[in-house]
Amino acid sequence: MDLGLAGKVAVVTGASRGIGRAIAEVLADEGAHVGICAREPAGVSATVAALRQRGTGVFGQALDVTDANGAAAFIDAAAAELGGLDILVNNVGGSRGAGVIGSSDEEWRATFELNLFHSVRMTRAAVPHLQRRGGGSVVIIASISGFRAAPGSQYGTAKAAEIFLSPALALELGCHAIRVNTVCPGSIVFPGGGWADFRDRDPAGYREFERREFPLGRLGTPEEVARAVAFVASPAGGWINGAAIAVDGAQQRPNAFVLGAS
C-alpha cells in the first residue's frame, strides 16, 4: 500500500533510539523528509547520519523538550530546513519518582512536563506550520498504562492525560484539517531499553512474563509500533481522528513498574 508519504515533512521527538528512531526510519523509508530531536547530541548525530542513508531530507537537533522556548524554536527550524511541516509525532515520554508514596510533587510535575506538556507545546508550535500546508496530522505516543492501571501512578496518569488530549485536539483542530490521534504501545523490547535489560538480568523471569502476559508469547518491537504510527499519520489513514490505538499484542497488564523495567 502506498501511504502517500513521499515528499511529506515529519518531525519526531525523542527519535535517537527505540520507538522514536524506528518511527523516523519508517517515515523516511516511505519517502518523507524527517526532522528529529533528542537530548543527547551524539545520539542525534548518529540518527541523522543513518536517516540520510535512506535518501530523504533530514534535520536534527539536540533538545530538552521541557524547554518551551527551545521546543518552539526546534519546530520552526525543522520546518524552515525541510520546507514545511505535515506530520508531528510527539514521542518523548518517561517518569520521575516511584508512585504516590515514593515521589514528590516536583517529580509529578516533571513527569507531566515530559509527557503531557511536551505534547501540548510541540503541537501548539506545529499548528501554524500545518495550517500553511492546508492541514496535517499529529500523533501522540502514549501507553497502555494510560488505561490499564499499574503501580507508577504519575506515569499512567500523565499518559491518560495524553490519551484524553488527542480527541480534544481533534475537535479543536479539525476545522483546520489537522487530525490528532494517540498510539498506545505495550511493552516494547529493543537494545539498550529497560525490557532488554530485564531480559538479560533475569532470563527466567522475562520468559515467564512473556508467557503470562502476552497471548502471542513475546513483547513487541519498535518497528511494529512505527508502522502503525506511519499509517495513522499518513493520508491513507485520513479517516482516523481522535482515536487511541493500542499496539500491544493484547498484553494483559502494563507491568513495567512492577518489574523495574521501562
Find where cell 503501580 sits. Answer: 151
Q: What is the DSSP string of 23-89?
A: HHHHHHHTT-EEEEEES-HHHHHHHHHHHHTTTS-EEEEE--TT-HHHHHHHHHHHHHHHT--SEEE
The answer to whether 206 is a known catalytic residue is no
* Residue 95 banded pLDDT, cuts 50, 70, 90: confident
Give the residue among 152, 146, 189, 185 at the shortest CA–CA distance from 164: 146
| Predicted pLDDT of residue 153 | 86
Q: What is the mean pLDDT of residues 64-93?
A: 97
Task: Encode pLDDT of 155-194 as tens digits.
Answer: 999 999 999 999 999 999 999 999 999 999 999 999 988 8
| Predicted pLDDT of residue 262 | 36
* Residue 256 banded pLDDT, cuts 50, 70, 90: very low
Classify residue 91 by its DSSP letter.
-
* Residue 152 banded pLDDT, cuts 50, 70, 90: confident
pLDDT at residue 260 tops 50? no
Q: Which three cell numbers stand for residue 22?
A: 524506528
String of b and e for 87-101 (b: at least 16 CB within 10 Å)? bbbbbbbebbbeeee
| Predicted pLDDT of residue 98 | 79
C-alpha pair distances (Å), 155 with each of 44, 109, 139, 214 = 25, 11, 19, 22
Task: Encode pLDDT of 190-241 as tens digits.
Answer: 998 889 999 999 999 999 999 999 999 999 999 999 999 999 999 999 999 9
Find where cell 535489560 sits. Answer: 197
* Residue 1 banded pLDDT, cuts 50, 70, 90: confident
CATH number of 9-189+222-247: 3.40.50.720
Q: What is the mean pLDDT of residues 139-143?
A: 97
Classify residue 246 by its DSSP letter.
E
Mean pLDDT taken over the chain: 94
Q: What is the mean pLDDT of residues 2-14?
A: 97
Active-site residue (options: 59, 108, 117, 155): 155
